[in-house]
Amino acid sequence: LIAASAVAVGGQRGLHALEDWLNDSRGSSQGGFDPFSVYTRIGVPGEVNLSPEIVWRIQPPPGVAPPRLLRTASYNTYRTSSWAIEPSAAGRVFTDLSSRIFEQLPYFITTPEADEATQLRSVSPDLPRFTLRGGADEETPLPLPGDAASLKGFELDGIEGNAMGTIRIFPKHSVVEGTVLWKSLTNPESPPSDEDLYIPKLERDAVRKSLRDVQLDPEVIDRLPNAERPTLREKLAAIQAWMQREFSYSRQLGISSSTHVSTSPTAITQFLRTERRGHCEYFASATVLMLRDAGIPARYAIGYATMERDVKRGEFIIRGTHGHAWCRVWDETTNAWIDFDTTPSVWSATVPPPASLTQRFNDWLQL
């Protein structure tokens, strides 16, 4: 039966021939996405399980490395195990992306209200690029590098973005394919606001003690001459080294917290001060709060990590199991947001390979 099915499907490998199958199969991976809030597993014990289903494929030119992180959304307000964008914040407003014709092709510019110079940089032939292909429906967020400049070739009824860098599409078909240009000097996100420095009261004590552990106590640093104060890169390196040295990664979560008992330590407090074990949502959330206490505007980002290569096709596969969380950090020297990921790199080794016959067959279908 499988062989017969394979022959039948093999005769229609075109992207559009797979639309109906994708419509039925991909809902568990991308369904329920909310650009304004996201719930985490912080404070909830148990095993973290994600779908091994392929959600995207990316193909860079031969010999060119793909982006390591592909962001779908950013948030800046932490509330007891969830991240959100405040209802009154500008980040909740989506606007149509502007477009520019270059070499007789339309390009969508990711930077809002981009001036002429920015538009020209965003479509430059010198920029690296990759092909992005996957299943999509209305308001699906595109997984893009943080410095994505422009997009071309996607068959869409609409495309829009918000001030937090989320780009969502309204596709003509349930499979989309196009080209993403990146590594430009453009910046699709808004500059930091007061919210990007806010730390919930219940987290402040643990966060400050953790900064002291890495020799970044703000009270001490503020007393230093400007020339002796650590730079942004030095602060990031200190936090990164501490996380790698003192913490471990695990999908088996043991931290439990209660919102009903005010005297109970929060899950972030337990992670930072006692347990020091968890998955990417713990590392990203705790790091964002530490950065803020160190005077660095930071946001919580979600998306995917690029880690699985399809050598035969020259592509990289993005699965639900590659879902990841990290930080976006404001660099005031360049006036741009940059990625910062403190989750120990060993986490990629914990992603189970697609070993089952059923999964390999499903992979073959999702071309």
Average pLDDT score over the chain: 88
**Residue 17 clears pLDDT 90, i.e. is over it:** no
pLDDT at residue 31, rounded to an integer:
52
Distance of alpha carbon 367 from alpha carbon 362, whole angstroms: 9
pLDDT score of 15: 39
Dihedral angle over CA of 97, 303, 305, 50, nearest 10: -140
The CB-side HSE value for 105 (13 A sphere, CA atoms) comes to: 15
Residue 4, pLDDT score: 37
Q: What backbone torsions phi and psi does residue 321 show, to the nearest 5 degrees?
A: -70, -10
List Cβ neighbours of 173 (8 Å cut-off, separation of 6 or more).
Answer: 15, 16, 19, 155
pLDDT computed for residue 260 by the predictor: 58
pLDDT tens readout for residues 272-319: 999 999 999 999 999 999 999 999 999 999 999 999 999 988 999 999
113-153 pLDDT, tens digit per residue, is 889 999 999 999 999 999 999 999 999 999 999 999 999 99
CA 217 to chain centre: 29
Please, which pLDDT band fits residue 261 given cuts at 50, 70 and 90?
A: low
Report the C-alpha gap between 234 and 214 in whole angstroms. Answer: 11
Q: Which pLDDT band, with edges at 50, 70 and 90, does 355 fall under? A: low
Calculated CA dihedral for residues 24, 27, 29, 35, nearest 10 degrees: 150
pTM of the model: 0.88
pLDDT of residue 167 exceeding 70: yes
Judge whether 365 and 2 are in contact, CB under 8 Å: no
Task: State the pLDDT at residue 248.
Answer: 96
